[in-house]
Amino acid sequence: MSRFVSIIMLLFLILSSQTNSYAAENQSLDIKSEAAVLVDSETGAILYNKNSDEKLYPASLTKIATAIYSLENGNIDDVVTISPRAVKEEGTRVFLVEGERVPLKKLIQGMLINSGNDAAVAIAEHIDGSVEEFAVNINKYLREEVGVSNTNFTNPNGLFNENHYTTAKDLALITNYAKKNPVFTEIFGTKELPWSGESWETTLLTHHRLLKGEIPVEGITGGKTGFVDESKHTLATTAENDNLKLTAIVLKGDRSKDTYQDTEKLIEYGLKNFQHRVIKQNELFKMKDKEYYTKSDIVVTEHINGSKESVTDKGVLEVVNDGDVIQSIQLEVKEPKQVKGKVKKGKLLTSEESSVNIIYGIIVIAFAGLFLGVRKRLVKRQ
């Protein structure tokens, strides 16, 4: 019997360690900022979410949208003549001079790297003639081209206006869309840049402390800071390793320190705990009396210990992690066929559930083996 007890204790220890290690890795993050979201830049999977649909003031994170809008609607070699309005814009500047002629790309660099509000106004006036017309056009662009749903911008730089708002989720969409443009990606990841203007010669340094390396975090590829009194501190950051590319947005932090600590937690959580898996073309999924398939290979983001997958009645494959749907993929319906034998429908088992089932199976087999051994001994004694 002592051998029997030892086997059972060993099996339960194995089962306990499997379950607890998964739970420990999925503890909620202590994010202090009002809103935050962590998104897989390539698949769009939402890996962490805190109030990501809450409408908040973005401050200078607005300039991410201004940059990609101007890159897609202007020519980076265009030469822009600086207006009196641009020169007078308040806040952080690159000290442009009225009548100065500056290439559009250089203005975008000054806007993203040094957060130049004057450069942002010059860009808006060059692309659309006025800041007011720019606001109308960029909002239409963001809705139709990027797919935002809770964003309205009144200016190109993020200076406070009660009608100038967005959400963490929309900003992640905008950043991911912008990252597809190589010129944006280059500027967004620039740490320093020599600057020569009519009134100012210097070296521009990114304000983003993670990108600059002042706060050492592995894998940081780009970033933008923001602050006005009403928005408090905001931060956009991109990072990657060999497996993933991530976008982290943090809004309304009481202190700059909070937004950086929150971002560090998000990036490390994402890079450590998630990976990609490819669903092959024509792979079949069954739900009730229907079969669904994918037209092409699809990349999904899953937890390293496996994420749950299920198909809805409308043929949407949902990837679920820690109780939240992190990615949804519309499948194609296939005409039902008569299949011999029984087919398990509905829920797809995760690797975690499969491993638990195996362990339970081992326990059952152990019990059965011990029972048969005891029975044989009793028969022999008789």
Task: Render pLDDT for 280-315 as a digit per residue (tens, 0 to 9).
Answer: 888 888 877 788 888 888 899 999 998 888 888 888
Q: Distance (Å, rounded) from C-alpha 80 to C-alpha 83?
A: 9
Determine, yes or no, domain membership for 15. Answer: no
Determine, yes or no, domain membership for 115. Answer: yes
Among the three residues 201, 220, 239, which one is the final residue of a domain in this structure?
A: 220
* Least confident segment among 15-29, 127-141, 170-184, 294-308: 15-29
Are 57 and 205 part of one and the same domain? yes
Determine, yes or no, domain membership for 162. Answer: yes
Are 193 and 80 part of one and the same domain? yes
Are 210 and 335 part of one and the same domain? no
Determine, yes or no, domain membership for 7. Answer: no
pLDDT over threshold 90, residue 123:
yes
Determine, yes or no, domain membership for 30. Answer: no
Instruction: Find where tokens 């931060």 sit.
Output: 235
To the query of whether residue 63 is one of the catalytic residues in this protein, the response is: yes
Q: Distance (Å, rounded) from C-alpha 18 to C-alpha 12?
A: 10
Are 294 and 214 part of one and the same domain? no
84-87 own/partner pairs: CB under 8 Å, 24+ apart: 85/121, 85/125, 85/131, 86/118, 86/119, 86/121, 86/122, 86/125, 87/118
Exactly one of 41, 52, 60, 355 is catalytic; which is it? 60
CA 142, 146, 147, 149 torsion: positive or negative?
negative
To the query of whether residue 33 is one of the catalytic residues in this protein, the response is: no
Q: Distance (Å, rounded) from C-alpha 303 to C-alpha 288?
A: 27
Among the three residues 188, 220, 252, which one is the final residue of a domain in this structure?
A: 220
Are 216 and 284 part of one and the same domain? no
pLDDT over threshold 50, residue 343:
no
Would you list the DSSP string of 220-248? EEEEEEEEETTTEEEEEEEEE-SS-EEEE
Burial of 377 (0-12, 13-18, 19+ CB in 10 A): exposed
Q: Distance (Å, rounded) from C-alpha 243 to C-alpha 301?
A: 10
- Domain residues for 315? 280-348
pLDDT in tens, 264-274: 999 999 999 99
Residue 74, helix vs strand vs coil: coil
- pLDDT, residue 344, reads 42
Determine, yes or no, domain membership for 287. Answer: yes
Are 196 and 90 part of one and the same domain? yes
Are 214 and 315 part of one and the same domain? no
pLDDT over threshold 60, residue 174:
yes
Determine, yes or no, domain membership for 126. Answer: yes
Are 301 and 161 part of one and the same domain? no
Are 294 and 173 part of one and the same domain? no
- pLDDT, residue 18, reads 34
Exactly one of 52, 115, 231, 355 is catalytic; which is it? 115
Q: What is the pTM of this model?
A: 0.80
- pLDDT, residue 333, reads 81
Q: Distance (Å, rounded) from C-alpha 276 to C-alpha 292?
A: 21
Helices (H), 201-318: 209-212, 256-273
pLDDT over threshold 50, residue 172:
yes
Exactly one of 41, 50, 52, 63 is catalytic; which is it? 63
Are 166 and 307 part of one and the same domain? no
- pLDDT, residue 364, reads 54
Are 64 and 198 part of one and the same domain? yes
Determine, yes or no, domain membership for 374. Answer: no
Q: What is the mean pLDDT of residues 250-274?
A: 97
To the query of whether residue 290 is one of the catalytic residues in this protein, the response is: no
Are 71 and 150 part of one and the same domain? yes
How many domains would you assign to the chain? 2
